[in-house]
Structure 1
């Protein structure tokens, strides 16, 4: 059948041309004895691979599966290789097909069919990799929308043609010109590099935070420095892969500098303040702090721009790092230092007040969280009140008297019980009401 394609768009003519070329290749394969022998070798290679993988796979799984609970390096390596066992069948088929390709080329001088079969087996391996092995959501998306289309073009023998066409198409942005292929390569490389950067940053951060000999502030600073270095290297590598010289970013760098000087000065100030806080260790994750405006809570996270504080009523506050530098901040925790509290009380004027300090100090010292250092419990006379003699007991504890800790409440109960056991009266106000000119 003859078709007049002169009036059709170029795209339609190209598609029809490729289809006709494919039909000619298919006819050549169907009518060629060499092609039929290659089809036979493909089937034999697949059958041999299926039988061999059926026997090898249980053995490999048994060998690569470590004992439950093992966390050694060897066990980790074995678990890593275990997840690739599903690739055994297509890789064996690819290897056997490669052997068959050498034989057919030696016998018939042609191996196009069997080479096509090799590419199909690699396509099958890529599909298993994406759908059965990769568990990370981001990598799976890359596999579905980037790796699989590339492998499909490679299997059909169109990858070189598609690459050449994409290299011919360009995009211009100012004085910088990109090819479509460079953009695609940059997207792929950027996605992989920044995923590797995120993974490396997580691993590095976990390793640094396990170094308990370092101060928490030093661990935070080292983690931030490692994060900046990792992503900086990823950015430089991406620029090199895409083909953008770093000197061409000079104008952009100047614009960023102007922005930092005007519109972004607060962000720059907060970032520098965060670095100072990490270096000096004035406040870090886990500390209980109170700001000048009365806001108080535990620092649960530090970022480049701010610190996140969680109060004991469950509210989160995002406080800029600059506030920790320019305003007064009370740090009650200060990396585990103890805190002093006091509980006031009073006794009746009928009491021998010389006995009260020993009684109260002994009772408060029985609390399991009350410390003997830097000072043991200290009961002090405060004043002669309207209704009784006023005292206060001071005590030191590790922790904050809020949230899960009820130090003042516990000490109050101890004081009450001690006074009751020693028959000491706790006074309460007495009022005399005088009524004049009352009618009888």
Structure 2
């Protein structure tokens, strides 16, 4: 590099470095600067003393009693996490008072003003490092808030802001400066994070309302989500100064896209709203589709319902399938269902005794209901190998593929028949041979 004629960027950097050295030299040789440094130290020591006196009392006040989980208790816990900011913020406040004193006495306060900005930088660093827990807020703090605080501490924030405002990016018939883009990213991220947090809080509150039907709760959660993010979008547009009429072209493009390529998505979205309003299928219901697939609804989305089978698989079923095809709903949050267990007895059995024996044995099972109907043993047919019976019973829940309740009922039937020495036949055939065997 030619140091006698360096590039413009290097020349500008050297000029800034020279200005910094001149400022530092002026501070070292100025009695006013030393007075400001002394006031800065005093302000810090005063803040340290006050924070140590105040923090224990605030901690006692903000710590809720054990076991409390209401809104006020959660708010106190949130406020408790901000206690580490007391020291740097009090130092910033006391330093601001010292700056006012030095400017009135010496007519300048550059040193103490620099110290004040450094205290603000320390407060931002504590906030990002120790207080923020949400990954998005930590990302926003590291790459936006910390650099802004550093520029503010160095006194370069106004300079950088001016440069960003002067840098205009053309985009067709529109144009925007980089400062507007930075504001859009920061404000947009903050607004939609608040929207997501508000949505989580409202969803938690709605799900706690057990007196509401499950379908009504799901509908209320979806309605709250649409309302919250709709308001967040309008707030963002208003803050950024974007007129909603300028979005008409975008809305038209979206409408054309729905008309051509997004028909199924729009259909599934509308079908999901209909399902939530009617409450025909909701989370917790065991359903069987027209194609034979069956499972418990574990999640509803704007596009589909998620079914979980009893072997752990998840099936994604579009919402429109619940509207346009036949769906069997076996449950409505724990309603009773009827099942049957078939069996057979030997032709040597007095079949008049079988119904009472089996009904009594099945009714003794703790999961079998007597309401809406007592166990009912019915004669079905006279089979090839024995007399065919079936016992119908009601249970509160779903028999997952006849693997949950039916096996226990079959065990009870077996034990009851064995207790009365009633034979359960096995397949048998009688062979008749016509004619005499040949003489050997």
Name the TM-score class by shorter chain: over 0.9
Which residue of structure 2 aligns with residue 158 of structure 1?
156
1:300 aligns with 2:313: no
In structure 2, do the counterparts of structure 1 residues 438 and 201 end up closer, same or farther at CA, with 3 Å as the change threshold? Answer: farther
Rounded to whole Å, the distance in 2 between the matches of 1:31 and 1:131 is 37
In structure 2, do the counterparts of structure 1 residues 6 and 304 end up closer, same or farther at CA, with 3 Å as the change threshold? Answer: farther
Rounded to whole Å, the distance in 1 between the matches of 2:249 and 2:188 is 22
Which residue of structure 1 aligns with residue 165 of structure 2?
167
1:255 aligns with 2:253: yes
Which residue of structure 1 aligns with residue 98 of structure 2?
100
In structure 2, do the counterparts of structure 1 residues 25 and 404 end up closer, same or farther at CA, with 3 Å as the change threshold? Answer: farther
1:319 aligns with 2:325: no
Which residue of structure 1 aligns with residue 14 of structure 2?
16
TM superposition shift of 1:196: 0.9
What do residues 323-355 of structure 1 show as CA deviations (whole Å, max 9, x unaligned)?
111111111113332211111112222222222
TM superposition shift of 1:21: 2.5
Structure 1 segments (4+ residues) deviating >6 Å? none
1:199-210, aligned counterparts within 5 Å?
Answer: 199-210=197-208
Rounded to whole Å, the distance in 1 between the matches of 2:439 and 2:162 is 116
Checking the alignment, whether the CA contact within 8 Å between 1:387 and 1:428 is kept in structure 2 is yes
In structure 2, do the counterparts of structure 1 residues 326 and 66 end up closer, same or farther at CA, with 3 Å as the change threshold? Answer: same
Which residue of structure 2 aligns with residue 246 of structure 1?
244
- Secondary structure of the corresponding residue to residue 176 of structure 2: strand
TM superposition shift of 1:233: 1.7
TM superposition shift of 1:28: 2.2
Which residue of structure 2 aligns with residue 265 of structure 1?
263
Rounded to whole Å, the distance in 2 between the matches of 1:24 and 1:322 is 73
Checking the alignment, whether the CA contact within 8 Å between 2:44 and 2:91 is kept in structure 1 is yes
Which residue of structure 1 aligns with residue 376 of structure 2?
378
Which residue of structure 1 aligns with residue 407 of structure 2?
409
What do residues 239-281 of structure 1 show as CA deviations (whole Å, max 9, x unaligned)?
2223322111111110100000010011001101111111111
- Secondary structure of the corresponding residue to residue 178 of structure 1: strand
Checking the alignment, whether the CA contact within 8 Å between 2:284 and 2:332 is kept in structure 1 is no
- Find 2:390's aligned residue among 389, 392, 395: 392
TM superposition shift of 1:6: 9.2
Checking the alignment, whether the CA contact within 8 Å between 1:399 and 1:405 is kept in structure 2 is no
Which residue of structure 2 aligns with residue 29 of structure 1?
27
Rounded to whole Å, the distance in 1 between the matches of 2:227 and 2:314 is 30
Which residue of structure 1 aligns with residue 128 of structure 2?
130
Cα RMSD, aligned residues only: 2.1
Which residue of structure 2 aligns with residue 220 of structure 1?
218
Query: What is the aligned length?
Result: 437
- Secondary structure of the corresponding residue to residue 130 of structure 1: helix
- Secondary structure of the corresponding residue to residue 375 of structure 1: coil
TM superposition shift of 1:69: 2.3
In structure 2, do the counterparts of structure 1 residues 145 and 403 end up closer, same or farther at CA, with 3 Å as the change threshold? Answer: farther
Rounded to whole Å, the distance in 1 between the matches of 2:231 and 2:404 is 50
Checking the alignment, whether the CA contact within 8 Å between 1:126 and 1:151 is kept in structure 2 is yes
**Greater Cα shift, 22-31 or 160-169:** 22-31
Checking the alignment, whether the CA contact within 8 Å between 1:100 and 1:114 is kept in structure 2 is yes
TM superposition shift of 1:5: 8.6
Checking the alignment, whether the CA contact within 8 Å between 1:5 and 1:13 is kept in structure 2 is no
Checking the alignment, whether the CA contact within 8 Å between 1:306 and 1:319 is kept in structure 2 is yes
TM superposition shift of 1:13: 3.2
- Secondary structure of the corresponding residue to residue 50 of structure 1: helix
- Find 2:69's aligned residue among 68, 71, 86: 71
Which residue of structure 1 aligns with residue 231 of structure 2?
233
Q: Return the TM-score normalized by structure 1.
A: 0.94
What do residues 295-348 of structure 1 show as CA deviations (whole Å, max 9, x unaligned)?
111111000001111111111111111111111111111333221111111222
**Greater Cα shift, 267-276 or 168-177:** 168-177
1:163-202, aligned counterparts within 5 Å?
Answer: 163-202=161-200
**Greater Cα shift, 123-132 or 208-217:** 208-217
Rounded to whole Å, the distance in 1 between the matches of 2:263 and 2:424 is 60
- Secondary structure of the corresponding residue to residue 56 of structure 2: helix
Checking the alignment, whether the CA contact within 8 Å between 1:183 and 1:242 is kept in structure 2 is no
Rounded to whole Å, the distance in 1 between the matches of 2:335 and 2:237 is 48
TM superposition shift of 1:430: 2.8
In structure 2, do the counterparts of structure 1 residues 439 and 373 end up closer, same or farther at CA, with 3 Å as the change threshold? Answer: farther
Q: Return the TM-score normalized by structure 2.
A: 0.94
Checking the alignment, whether the CA contact within 8 Å between 2:55 and 2:83 is kept in structure 1 is yes
